[in-house]
Amino acid sequence: MSVPKFAQIKEFILENIQSGEWQENDRVPSENELTSQFQVSRMTARRALSELTDAGILTRSQGQGTFVASFKSQSSLLEIKNIADEVKARNSNYSCTILVMESISAIAPIAIALGVEVDSHVYRSVIVHNENEQPLQVEERFVNPALAKDYLQQDFHSLTPHEYLSQNAPLTEARHTVEAIMPNQEMCEWLNLYNEEPCLQVIRRTWSSQGIVSFARLVSPGSKYRLGGHLTFKK
């Protein structure tokens, strides 16, 4: 079975990053350049770049191009909050629905995001966080087993993944990417969206003092969730 062209482009980009040929913040070929090199449509090239950007491997700058994202930790302007605490603070009832708890072989984007070898085993969970029994957020998380070996044995009805990881691999730093997306059919089903609407997606990588702990994708309906923060500047 032949490999789709967009997947070939993704593999080409990932191989250059993994080999060290392209370093952090290096510019990668544009849509036009990839279109010419692989003899594909711009839509195919755009899909490859978009999927790697969604995974946090690339970053795109309007008018400047597409670049290899920084894989080093950085301080976040957004406070990492426990969603169960957020819901309870609004005097609402928190619950969750656990959809997936599994060990998988890490494909290249996940391996790069977690700083592990391709095809090594990592943990994956998919959990729907509910407010008053209504879906509020889908959390898909990939975890480094070396730093959270008992992750799959936890009862995440009684504590959230964030709480467990904060206790067992205290988080020191994080990196966020925030954007608006249109959900696919599966995401609409998980969020009980009968009419497709824009969603807020947060891609988050977290570190402890021992290394990268997890890589998560958090998706919430735009009509139900928002991000906010408070900054204090020194005089």
Does 59 share its domain with 157?
no
C-beta of residue 110 within 8 angstroms of C-beta of residue 159:
no
Residue 59 is part of which domain span? 5-68
Chain Cα centroid distance, residue 107: 14
Once rounded to an integer, what is the mean pLDDT over residues 23-27? Answer: 85
Which pLDDT value is given to residue 44?
A: 94
pLDDT recorded at residue 174: 84
Contact 67, 58 (CB under 8 A): yes
Q: Strand, helix or coil at 22?
A: coil
| DSSP run (H or E) holding 74 | none
Task: Count CB neighbours of 102 within 10 A.
Answer: 10
For residue 142, list its beta bridge partners.
124, 215
Give CA–CA dist 196/180, Å, rounded: 13
The rounded distance, in Å, linking the Cα atoms of 227 and 86 is: 11
CATH of the domain at 183: 3.40.1410.10
Report if residue 77 sits inside a domain. Answer: no
Confidence tier at 112 by pLDDT (50, 70, 90): confident
Q: Using the 8-state DSSP alphabet, how is residue 170 labeled?
A: -
165 in a domain, yes or no? yes
**d(Cα 46, Cα 25) in Å, to the nearest integer?**
19
In a domain, 226, yes or no: no
Q: Quote the pLDDT of residue 231.
A: 43
Q: Please, are residues 7 and 53 in contact by the beta-carbon 8 Å criterion?
A: no
Is residue 107 a contact partner of residue 62, using CB atoms and an 8 Å limit?
Answer: no
Residues 24 and 99 in one domain: no
Q: Does 105 share its domain with 146?
A: yes
Whether 19 and 107 share a structural domain = no
Same domain, 36 and 120: no
Domain assignment present for 12 = yes
Q: What are phi and psi of 108, to 5 degrees?
A: -55, -50
Q: Assess if residue 73 is contained within a domain.
A: no
pLDDT tens for residues 29-73? 999 999 999 999 999 999 999 888 877 788 887 778 898 886 543
Here the tokens at position 59 are 């970053």
Residue 159 domain-assigned? yes
DSSP category for residue 152: G
121 lies in the same domain as 88: yes
Tell whether 24 is covered by a domain: yes
Q: Which residue matches tokens 């020194």?
A: 234
- pTM, two decimals, is 0.68
Asked whether the predicted pLDDT for residue 228 surpasses 70, the reply is no
User: Could you tell me if 175 and 115 lie in one domain?
Assistant: yes
Q: Is residue 63 domain-shared with residue 125, that is, in the same domain? A: no
Provide the Cα torsion 132, 148, 219, 87; round to 10°. 30
Cα 117 from chain centroid (whole Å):
18
Same domain, 101 and 32: no
Last residue of a domain, one of 20, 41, 68: 68
Instruction: Choose the final residue of a domain: 20, 42, 68.
Output: 68
Please give the tally of structural domains in the chain: 2
Is 125 contained in some domain? yes
